[in-house]
């Protein structure tokens, strides 16, 4: 009997597979931007952006893992045209461009959830990777700081 998993557990595992071994500050920021980009630009545009970044930069391999993770997740759940595999990135991009509204919305919701997990796990891995080496306060931590008078600084 296979173990029963909650949807968010499966999503967290899928996102974990997309993360590189180490996450630096720049990469963490990029991962944190993905949910916002999906919300504002849409799935097709976000996927095209990820594809455009997977070659020619230091973060290229990380973007390639994100692109592969998106393609694998959409295929695993047959979210677009009931297909489970695309031979190339361009094939999936074309399928997203021609998908009906319901399928596109379903795929967008799934990938938004996946991106949310990716963002949270990247933050955790970044903090784990920098726990012993980074002695300066993180900009996120500084925003939550409390002054000696007990008032927030933000």
- How far apart (Å, rounded) are the C-alpha atoms in residues 117 and 11? 7
Partners of 146 in the β-ladder: 152
Per-residue confidence (pLDDT) for residue 7, from 0 to 100: 62
Report the interhelical angle of 89-98 vs 43-53 (nearest 10°).
Answer: 160
Per-residue confidence (pLDDT) for residue 154, from 0 to 100: 40
- How far apart (Å, rounded) are the C-alpha atoms in residues 128 and 89? 32
**Taking the domains of the chain in order of start, what are their residue ranges?**
7-131
Q: For 7-131, CATH number?
A: 1.10.520.30
Per-residue confidence (pLDDT) for residue 42, from 0 to 100: 96
The tens-digit pLDDT sequence of the chain (154 residues) is: 556 557 678 888 888 888 888 888 988 999 999 999 999 999 999 999 999 999 988 899 999 999 999 999 999 999 998 999 988 999 999 999 999 999 999 999 999 999 999 999 999 888 876 775 655 455 454 444 344 444 444 4
Q: Are 18 and 69 in contact (CB under 8 A)?
A: yes
């Amino acid at each position: 009997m296979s173990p029963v998993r909650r949807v968010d557990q499966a999503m967290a595992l899928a996102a974990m597979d997309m993360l590189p071994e180490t996450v630096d500050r720049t990469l963490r920021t990029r991962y944190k931007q993905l949910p916002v980009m999906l919300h504002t630009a849409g799935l097709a545009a976000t996927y095209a952006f990820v594809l455009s970044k997977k070659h020619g930069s230091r973060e290229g391999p990380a973007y390639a893992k994100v692109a592969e993770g998106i393609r694998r997740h959409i295929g695993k759940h047959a979210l677009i045209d009931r297909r489970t595999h695309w031979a190339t990135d361009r094939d999936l991009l074309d399928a997203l461009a021609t998908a009906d509204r319901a399928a596109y919305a379903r795929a967008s919701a799934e990938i938004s959830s996946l991106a949310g997990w990716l963002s949270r796990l990247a933050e955790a891995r970044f903090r784990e990777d920098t726990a012993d080496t980074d002695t300066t306060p993180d900009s996120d931590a500084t925003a939550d700081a409390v002054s000696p008078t007990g008032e927030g600084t933000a």
